[in-house]
């Protein structure tokens, strides 16, 4: 059993940008998260450069950044923010980042995956920190421009400088997260919680539940459009209501019929057997089985990944959903 730790929550008052002033932040990767963080950092008055392969530099240059190779950016930058996809961290780090590290630099990650599962093994002469926003990059950027933010986790793995936590808080402030709340955690807790939440609940579990409900109604003779509207279309209302008022508050805001039926039927869907499967998923995450399987999949050319992705895109719920969304615009 993992030892439980209390959450510490930080806001704007605990964060000071001076710990990143006069430093060069090298953002490695310029996807949706990398672009959003780089723009927010620059708008907060910090010095930002981008590290990318040659073929990927156009967008960053159009946004007005100085763009270097990953090797050059690592040499120039004082804080290296690694925002490339998780499965590429090991390769990028070993070939392009590690040989160019020097004393006094800081490695920053947006999730705990590659550090906790030892895909990346930093030297002991650098700070190693995490700032993990809990929103897609596009959402984070939009809220930042509105003067708002998204919550995030921060963690410190190595504190060579004595200011690692302060740098993590300053970075979180610069991308807007301290406006929504910064939660101190560990690389281990973030990595395991993130993978489990994605796989068993928010992405894997939820999508299978939606498709199962859709399939059952269609198989019993309801039109696909009817099944989609009943099982999928109102999901945003339910999620937003839970986020605003909690689960009990959501039940207060739906019909009494829906509420009573939910109390009776929800536990018949999420049974003890389902919970046992979730426990097995958690165990496979904790012991590293999933991480090894994912890296093996990547190194083997991702054939299974592409086949599974095709199954999802070809499901009838996708065709029906496109039709409903066109009508709803």
Give mean pLDDT, residues 120-149. 96
- Residue 134's nearest CA partner among 177, 171, 82 is 177
Percent of the chain whose predicted confidence (pLDDT) is above 90? 92
| Mean confidence (pLDDT) of the chain | 95
Are the C-beta atoms of residues 262 and 256 closer than 8 Å to each other? no
Q: pLDDT-based confidence at 6, cuts 50/70/90?
A: low
Are the C-beta atoms of residues 57 and 79 closer than 8 Å to each other? no
Give mean pLDDT, residues 86-93. 96
Distance, CA of 69 to CA of 50 (rounded, Å): 8
Q: How would CATH label the architecture of 195-328?
A: Orthogonal Bundle (1.10)
Apex 188 CA angle, 247 and 291, nearest 5: 95
Q: What pLDDT was estimated at residue 162?
A: 97
Token couple for 248: 């009990």
| pLDDT(40) > 60 | yes
pLDDT tens figures, 242-288: 999 999 999 999 999 999 999 999 999 999 999 999 999 999 999 99
Are the C-beta atoms of residues 76 and 26 closer than 8 Å to each other? yes
- Kindly report, as residue ranges, where domains of CATH 3.40.50.720 are found in the chain: 8-185
- Kindly report, as residue ranges, where domains of CATH 1.10.1040.10 are found in the chain: 195-328
Are the C-beta atoms of residues 169 and 14 closer than 8 Å to each other? yes
Q: What pLDDT was estimated at residue 5?
A: 58
pLDDT tens figures, 131-144: 999 999 999 999 99
Q: What pLDDT was estimated at residue 241?
A: 96
Taking domain 8-185, whether its CATH number is 3.40.190.10 is answered by: no
pLDDT tens figures, 149-183: 999 999 999 999 999 999 999 999 999 999 999 99
Q: pLDDT-based confidence at 7, cuts 50/70/90?
A: low
Distance, CA of 264 to CA of 229 (rounded, Å): 22
pLDDT tens figures, 205-215: 999 999 999 99
Percent of the chain whose predicted confidence (pLDDT) is above 70? 97
């Amino acid at each position: 059993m993992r030892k439980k730790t209390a959450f510490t929550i930080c806001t704007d008052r605990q964060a000071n940008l001076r710990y990143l002033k006069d430093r060069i932040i090298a953002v490695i990767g310029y996807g949706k998260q990398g672009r959003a963080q780089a723009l927010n950092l620059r708008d907060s008055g910090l010095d930002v450069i981008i590290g990318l392969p040659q073929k990927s530099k156009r967008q960053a240059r159009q946004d007005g950044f100085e763009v270097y190779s990953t090797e050059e950016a690592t040499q120039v930058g004082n804080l290296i923010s690694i925002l490339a996809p998780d499965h590429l961290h090991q390769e990028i780090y070993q070939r392009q980042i590690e040989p160019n590290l020097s004393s006094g630099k800081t490695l920053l990650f947006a999730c705990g995956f590659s550090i906790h599962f030892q895909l990346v093994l930093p030297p002991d002469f650098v700070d190693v920190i995490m700032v993990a926003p809990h929103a897609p990059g596009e959402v984070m950027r939009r809220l930042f421009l509105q003067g708002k933010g998204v919550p995030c986790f921060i963690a410190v793995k190595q504190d060579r400088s004595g200011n690692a936590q302060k740098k993590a808080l300053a970075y979180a402030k610069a991308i807007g997260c301290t406006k929504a709340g910064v939660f101190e955690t560990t690389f281990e807790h973030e990595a395991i919680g993130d993978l489990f939440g994605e796989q068993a609940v928010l992405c894997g579990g939820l999508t299978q539940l939606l498709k199962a409900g859709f399939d059952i109604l269609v198989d019993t003779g309801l039109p696909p459009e009817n099944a989609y509207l009943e099982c999928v279309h109102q999901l945003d209302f339910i999620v937003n209501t839970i986020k605003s008022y909690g689960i009990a508050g959501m039940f207060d805001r739906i019909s009494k019929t829906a509420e009573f039926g939910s109390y009776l039927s929800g536990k018949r869907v999420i049974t003890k057997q389902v919970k046992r499967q979730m426990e097995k998923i958690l165990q496979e995450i904790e012991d590293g089985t999933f991480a090894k399987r994912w890296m093996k999949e990547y190194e083997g050319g991702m054939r299974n990944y592409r086949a599974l992705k095709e199954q999802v895109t070809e499901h009838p719920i996708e065709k029906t959903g496109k039709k409903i969304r066109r009508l709803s615009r």
